[in-house]
Amino acid sequence: MEEFRNIGLIGRLNSNKVIDTIRRLSRYLLDEGYHTILDDRIAEVMPGHGMQVSNVNMLGEICDLVIVVGGDGSLLGAARALAKFNTPVLGINRGRLGFLTDISPDDEMCEAVQAVLDGEYIEERRFLLDAEIKRDGNPIGSATGLNDVVLHPGKSARMIAFDLYIEGQFVYHLRSDGLIVSTPTGSTAYALSGGGPIMHPRLDALVLVPMFPHTLSSRPIVVDGKAEVKIVVDASQGLYPTISCDGQTHIPCAPGDSITIRKKAHKLKLIHPKGHNFYEICRTKLGWSSNLGD
């Protein structure tokens, strides 16, 4: 087990509950002798905190562990920045669902964090996706997603026409509201609402979920996680769609653009408390029956 001495704290902005949780957690960590470093964006709304301040990239370089206080969206943003540093990330849930941020901010939060710091944790490696957009063969933008890469109409209400290729092989020409290319991590997010399957986080696979396809035969496709996915926007349609990664990074596209999606070289090192159970999380968050057959 790794030794955690330099602890970074990242929090969702514009949330008093997040600020209160970070204050309580940082006091505990400082009292216990841990070197605690605060993300510069959250530090601006915490005057008098008395801690070292660093940007997220520096946190990745100097921290043994980064704790994210917020919802899954906060952790997604941290994951994209920290994965390249191989820095372990632990989430405290101040959001709604909490598939990734799974420590509760209750009275026992500090005890749960201390157990992790004492080596009582489960480590998972989650892969991310890189998306590169090319126009006339030239790169015009790129972005990374832990959950998904999504082609969608943007502000338009029209269907998108596009060609799909997997590992260089033509799959189909489709008219739809878009396409979700999801990792196992993202299979319980946007892809699930689009009718995609739930995938266990340890799977090395991608799921491609058409969004409201203009056909009855288009279904989600699960492919190898190492597969290269390429989407080519129909050049004759005149529609300017958008590529979004994790719903947080957006790149405008034009007719004829190609989007290549492949697994990122760096993985996220995600930390869970001992006893973490993916199926229990699904039961709780998705409302599955917990009846054991009385």
Catalytic site includes residue 72: yes
- Does 182 count as an annotated binding residue? no
Crossing angle of helices 109-117/16-31, nearest 10°?
Answer: 50
- Does 188 count as an annotated binding residue? yes
Q: Which of 154, 130, 144 is nearest to 233 (CA)?
A: 154
- Does 165 count as an annotated binding residue? no
- Does 73 count as an annotated binding residue? yes
Q: Residue ranges of the alpha helices (H) in the chain?
A: 16-31, 40-43, 56-62, 72-82, 109-117, 190-193, 278-286
- Does 225 count as an annotated binding residue? no
Q: Which of 20, 64, 72, 204 is catalytic?
A: 72
Give burial (CB, 10 Å; 0-12/13-18/19+) of 220.
Answer: middle
- Does 118 count as an annotated binding residue? no
The sign one gets for the Cα dihedral 185, 190, 191, 193 is positive
- Chain centroid to CA 190: 11
- Does 260 count as an annotated binding residue? no
C-alpha dist (Å) from residue 7 to 10, 27, 134, 135, 200? 10, 12, 39, 42, 29
- Does 254 count as an annotated binding residue? no
- Does 9 count as an annotated binding residue? no
- Does 148 count as an annotated binding residue? yes
- Does 72 count as an annotated binding residue? yes
Give burial (CB, 10 Å; 0-12/13-18/19+) of 145.
Answer: buried
Specify binding-site residues for NAD(+): 72-73, 147-148, 158, 175, 177, 188-193, 248
Specify binding-site residues: 72-73, 147-148, 158, 175, 177, 188-193, 248
* Residues annotated as catalytic (active site), given as ranges: 72
